[in-house]
Amino acid sequence: MTLEAKLAEGLREMDITLSSDIQEKLLSYLGLLLKWNKVYNLTAIREPEKMVSHHLLDSLSVIPYINGKRLLDVGSGAGLPGIPLAIVMPELEVVVLDSNHKKTTFAQQASIELGLGNVSVVCERVENWHSTKKFDMVISRAFSDMGEFYKLTQHLVDANGVFLAMKGLYPFEEMAQLPPEAKVLDTFPLSVPGLDAQRHLVVIKAN
């Protein structure tokens, strides 16, 4: 199966409708990731077919829960999930942040080559970074446990904003260890075609 067919089939299973141009741009991002990965080791996953499910479709699985105007992707690595979300939702202002220079250099270059005017890239430790404008949503896919994620990013979230933690197995222990002022609003199972593992999204708000 071609990568185009694999992406299209996965999107159908997830009930996500995207134009052929947007699908092409997602695959162009994947192409850049594959190319850079040979030199810079940006991700442990090297098989293109696996990258479709584990990177693109996994990132896009949270689309139904993205409903603000400004999104901060913390510990974004090579731009996941921030860049795929920015490709699919051009009206969304996305900041991808990581402290790894190689990974943010790639994210910056990918944003330029793909013409993503709605993406900004920051190379910094999140606890040291400040933004003049706060975010409606702060998302993390593989950054840290939820308590640490909440603690290190709360200075960046708007008063009515939420924290979106993408997790594997249902994170009972991590939820139990959240500070008292962090309220879990909801948890959602995420279905990712081609990924044979549990995925969950936890939505947290500061009281």
Pairing relationship of beta strands 200-206 and 157-167 according to DSSP bridges: antiparallel
Q: Any binding-site annotation on 147?
A: no
Q: Any binding-site annotation on 113?
A: no
Q: Any binding-site annotation on 117?
A: no
- 3-class SS string, the chain: CCHHHHHHHHHHHCCCCCCHHHHHHHHHHHHHHHHHHHHHCCCCCCCHHHHHHHHHHHHHCCHHHCCCCEEEEECCCCCCCHHHHHHHCCCCEEEEEECCHHHHHHHHHHHHHCCCCCEEEEECCHHHCCCCCCEEEEEECCCCCHHHHHHHHHHHEEEEEEEEEEECCCCHHHHHCCCCCEEEEEEEECCCCCCCCCCEEEEEEEC
Is residue 96 within 8 Å of residue 80, measured between CB atoms? no
Q: Any binding-site annotation on 70?
A: no
Q: Any binding-site annotation on 32?
A: no
Q: Cβ–Cβ contacts within 10 Å for residue 1, how many?
A: 10
Q: Which residues are annotated as part of the binding site for S-adenosyl-L-methionine? A: 75, 80, 126-127, 141
Q: Which residues are annotated as part of the binding site? A: 75, 80, 126-127, 141
